[in-house]
Amino acid sequence: MNIENGQIYYINFKGYVGREINNIHLGVIFKLPTIPDMFFCIPLTSPKLKHFKTEQDFNNRNYKNVKHFNWQYLKQTDSIAMLDQMKTISITRLLNPYENQDKRIFKLDDYTLSLLEDKIIKYINLILKKI
């Protein structure tokens, strides 16, 4: 498999419990440089009113006005990246790559990928400083 950072895959999240995302969802994939059969992933979900500060922000998909820092709106897929549920997963959980209308494997553009990477780093720093 030729997997690149920022690609989006259908992922089998079955087996998780409680408030964790479950079943099959899309997720943004990042390679782990030291473990070839494991990946860092951020699950995606459909945008809902609860993800945005106002109904107008939801209707306009204003990515700057999500309600909580641990969510990021991704315009390219009309999805919410849920940083609060990021995790490492086995390659066996990857089902199929997400394809665009041209049947090409979909990857986030450089701007969106850098925005998400910056937010991941800030989120992890926030977590570590609260410990």
Model confidence band, residue 103 (pLDDT cutoffs 50, 70, 90): confident
pLDDT digits (tens, 9 = 90+) for 21-78: 778 889 999 999 899 899 999 999 888 888 889 888 888 888 888 888 888 888 888 8
Residues 6+ apart with CB under 8 A from 117: none
Model confidence band, residue 6 (pLDDT cutoffs 50, 70, 90): very high
For the chain, list the domains and their CATH numbers.
7-130 (3.10.129.130)
- Residue 115: left if φ>0, alpha if ψ -120 to 50, beta else—which one? alpha
| Model pLDDT, residue 131 | 56
DSSP 104: P
Longest dimension (CA), the chain: 46
Distance CA 75, CA 26 (A): 14
| Model pLDDT, residue 1 | 66
